[in-house]
Structure 1
């Protein structure tokens, strides 16, 4: 008897989150180039960026990578990839701190610090997309992925969700927006459309 094939994991939320980080890095670089790094709206955008990045990587480290590690026990090459993910997360700490310090002090080399952050984080996200996500697709189930997403949602909480969802959809085109929101329950989409997006826009992060 044929065995039913498991449905693939939908990584739309992961890709959308990575794209939001890339978008914010572009906005940060533009603000620094324009001499706006010390303005309240840019600081607000930066603080949200660092909050979202810390939360994202914290839950990956606490919930996602341990699941993958258990699934690849006895597979040295895959275990090496997980160590690389962990090391890349740790590498970001000093780079983020350098940018934060540069923004606070108005450091002359702030553009170089931002460029280094964009390089380090960009390389990590590309590495994750090209190697870690295919591994996850191979060794985890959609149920495992849903459990990871549930851990992320619990970490965000209702207050965090009210910022996270409009932060993700900020600047998305219609196709990207649909791919992201189609993974969400109907009440989340309604709340985002009726309340969260307008509150987010009023903050004017990055001076937008």
Structure 2
């Protein structure tokens, strides 16, 4: 792929069976939770034991999924794109930006944890900064990096990425990941998300994972 042929002029799009389903659904879920957190995480709510626990339940899932999401990109996805697009300075620049943007997020996660541990002091400002930086990163990734995944990697290369991610993922993480992805989406959206799973796993999702997930109050 040459510099001129690089995708990235528009947001990534996907449909059933597409390799970008899980990534885009995760981005949507991060945005959803950022909005919920901004509404919920006030000092007054964090002083109320029941509301505090609900907020911490939501935060624990959000933080866990964001750390896993970035770890998988850093370990399994960006290195393959770097190798595949070694001759493209534009691609390398985009991937450098992905690394730099990831590095900005971890300190904000620590800042939120610190705020929650101290009664919500400064939570509003930290959450606002996280929303700005993470939101900007997600948009940048959708505009420039995700189209490269769709166009630069062969089916065999993409299958290798998926295989590596599955080997590195605990079953307990998948049991949280899938209902978290589909939370709040309509029936058609849930059907699209579940298309990334084999049929037997969809049964487990509906009978076990989703009920267990929805039984816990968050935010």
- Scaled by the length of structure 2, what TM-score is found? 0.85
From the two aligned structures, give the one with the greater helix fraction. 1
Structure 2 segments unaligned to the other structure (5+ residues): 1-16
Task: Say whether the 8 Å CA contact 1:9–1:145 is kept in structure 2.
Answer: no
Q: Are the counterparts in 2 of residues 153 and 161 from structure 1 also a CA contact under 8 Å?
A: no
- The equivalent residue for 1:14 is 23
Structure 1 residues 9 and 141, CA gap change in structure 2 (3 angstroms): farther
1:160 alignment counterpart? 173
What CA RMSD, in Å, does the superposition of the two structures yield over aligned residues?
1.7
1:31 maps to which of 35, 40, 52: 40
**What is the distance in 1 between the residues matched to 2:141 and 2:215?**
33
Query: 185-194 or 140-149: which moved more?
Result: 140-149
Encode CA deviations 1:68-110: one digit per residue, 9 max, x unaligned.
0001112111111110000000011111111111111124421
C-alpha distance in structure 2 between counterparts of 1:110 and 1:126, whole Å: 24
- Counterpart among 196, 209, 215 of residue 183 in structure 1: 196
Q: How many residues align?
A: 199
- What does residue 139 of structure 1 align with? 152
Residue deviations 1:136-183, cap 9 Å, x none? 222102332232223222332211111111111111112211111112
Which ranges of 4 or more aligned residues in structure 1 deviate by more than 3 Å? Answer: none
Which of 114, 118, 131 aligns to 1:105? It is 118
TM-score (norm 1): 0.89
- Pick from 76, 98, 105 the counterpart of residue 63 of structure 1: 76
